[in-house]
Amino acid sequence: MSGQVPPNVYPCKRCGAPVPGGIPACPQCGIYWPNVATGWLVINRATKFTGFLNSVKVSVNGQPAGTVANGASITLELPAGQHYVEVRGGLLSNSATVFIAPGQTSRYQMYFSEWGILGGGLNFKPG
């Protein structure tokens, strides 16, 4: 029975190598989510004087995903579906449930308000 693929093993969407379901990266080419439809989340951080010294940590579904400096952005490739995204920096935090559509890009803006910790907070919204 040569040429048959064992159950729960799927071809990598980039290189075609057989990858067991649930594996987060292809063992041959290294692409993330080798057999899952994905999309992208782009988080832009506006350049502001308020909070400019603070890097903002981004987590997705409770897992660290990176940091964003003042005026920078981060692009994350995520499996299609809903994800809980949290941003934390300068003793402030915010979160949102983000939907990622297959092959599409979702864009979010993040910035410290002019009032910062005194009441404005860390904003995180679509845009």
pLDDT tens per residue across span 53-111? 889 999 999 999 999 999 999 999 999 999 999 999 988 899 999 999 999 999 999 99
85 inside domain: yes
**How confident is residue 1, by pLDDT bands cut at 50, 70 and 90?**
very low
Q: What global pTM score does this model have?
A: 0.78
**Domain membership of residue 102 as a residue range:** 37-126
Q: What would the pLDDT profile of 2-29 be if each residue is shown by its tens digit?
A: 455 456 888 888 898 998 877 888 999 9
What secondary structure letter does DSSP report for 6? Answer: P
> Which residues are registered as beta bridge partners of 75?
42
80 inside domain: yes
Asked if 73 contacts 109 with a C-beta cutoff of 8 angstroms, the reply is no
CATH classification of the domain holding 44: 2.60.40.2890
Give me the sheet containing 122-126, strands edge to edge.
73-79, 38-45, 105-112, 122-126
| Identity of the amino acid at 30 | G
Q: Per DSSP, which regions of 21-126 are E strands? A: 38-45, 56-60, 63-68, 73-79, 81-89, 92-100, 105-112, 122-126
50 inside domain: yes
Residue 38, Cα to own-chain centre: how many angstroms?
11
Q: What would the pLDDT profile of 109-126 be if each residue is shown by its tens digit?
A: 999 887 655 556 888 999
Count the domains in the chain: 1
24 inside domain: no
Tokens 């048959």 correspond to what residue?
4
